[in-house]
Copies of this chain bind each other. A is one copy, B any other.
């Protein structure tokens, strides 16, 4: 089936519907680069909720599926085209209004996370969630996946900051749920249902975010370890006592890849590196820094470096954020996002090493270690079909391992298309049926983001 999009183009402002094949080609895939991506019928770039409603109504009438895309940075294929679908990109929905009096921001979904942070900061406020991709990922995508980041270990994930939403439903109606009030128990918790729903239940066209007073200056502690085991014991020693503002992990492959890229003098012989931060004020912060330093030293850190200088600290945070692009220079990546309850972190890291050896592929592990959320990066040569196959096998085995350890196949990226085969193993058939019941209730024709999760 291939509907004629001219009636849609006529119903929307000039130029909003694009059918140029060259442009469409750039919107087929997201950063997961799913080779099974289809080709959309058209690209629509709305600027308002009304435009989205017009588009969804047209799709509803013509039984055309609709894929919502923010900035296209999904690592699990959450915004991958299917043949004959409308690709709805929110990239031109970029308004924001920060309200210092209620300490909230009302944001359109296409704004980058970094732009939300900047707009909040301009009013002396802070939007905490900070995916590593914060400079290139959209706030709408963050909400759709319940994105996390580095600060989550102390400050929580996206859902903790979403007070209200405007959502266009599968039949084109727009609803508002929640609002600027900080507490709201009126009716079913629909706001929370949409956060993390990966585009399956509706299209988010406006987000009301809770903001915080600005974060205090953070002190940074870096520990260099001979072994990943020592480092993961050090993580538990920290989180058993305090909530650090950040606690990140890189293994030797990541350290060397980052050093290749940034030349900042990281120890190439290290087995693992931890970067922790405390933003507790004054003497409490100094106490936390001491506690972290001790936890690192008594768990085998060969070298510990602490600084109160935000610029020095930011260099190490930037190094951690650079790990994915740096390792990506070694080959194509299959990027994992598995999480486990914290005490299982060493078992997960050991298990991943075994999976790498068994499959003869390189796997570099980086992690938001403080909350047990890891990103094993499987490196492979896409021109080597055998190696690519072994990488795929490892990808699945890592999810199997996380499930076995009582964890999750995705801590912050979402299930998308790449992980849906493993979701039933994690949650079981009854939860899958519950998921389908809710999906069918809200989108009986299955037009919203087909192929994702279910």
Contact = CB atoms under 8 A, between A and B. Distances in A.
A220 interface: no
A428 interface: yes
Interface string A142-158: 00011110001100110
A19 interface: no
A423 to B, nearest CB: 6
A410 interface: yes
A156 B408 CA distance: 25
Interface string A400-433: 0000001111111111000100010011101110
A103 interface: yes
A435 B173 contact: no
B177 A185 contact: no
Nearest to A200: B188
A185 B415 contact: yes
Nearest to A210: B156
A76 to B, nearest CB: 9
Contacts of A147: 185
A440 interface: yes
A408 to B, nearest CB: 4
A159 interface: yes
A181 B212 contact: no
A34 interface: no
B431 A177 contact: yes
Interface residues of A, number: 91
Q: Determine chain A's interface SS by DSSP, over half rule.
A: loop
A152 to B, nearest CB: 6
Interface in A332-365: 337, 339-343
Interface stretch (A61-69, A278-286, A303-311, A312-320): A278-286
A320 B372 CA distance: 39
A183 B412 contact: yes
Given A284-B282, A431-B176, A423 B186 contact: yes
B407 A188 contact: no
B152 A183 contact: yes
B190 A192 contact: no
B101 A408 contact: no
Contacts of A368: 183
With a 10 A CB-CB cut-off, give which of A156, A184, A426, A431 has the most chain B CB atoms: A184
Contact of A437 (B181, B415, B442): B442
B185 A414 contact: yes
Contacts of A145: 185
A332 B264 CA distance: 70
A320 to B, nearest CB: 17
B428 A176 contact: yes
Contacts of A197: 188-189
Given A169-B434, A193-B189, A157 B183 contact: yes
A179 interface: yes
Lowest 3 A-B CB distances belong to which pairs? A281-B284, A192-B192, A441-B441
Given A183-B371, A187-B453, A213-B242, 14 more contacts: A101-B342, A156-B160, A176-B431, A181-B411, A182-B373, A183-B408, A186-B410, A187-B435, A188-B453, A189-B193, A190-B431, A192-B196, A216-B284, A282-B284
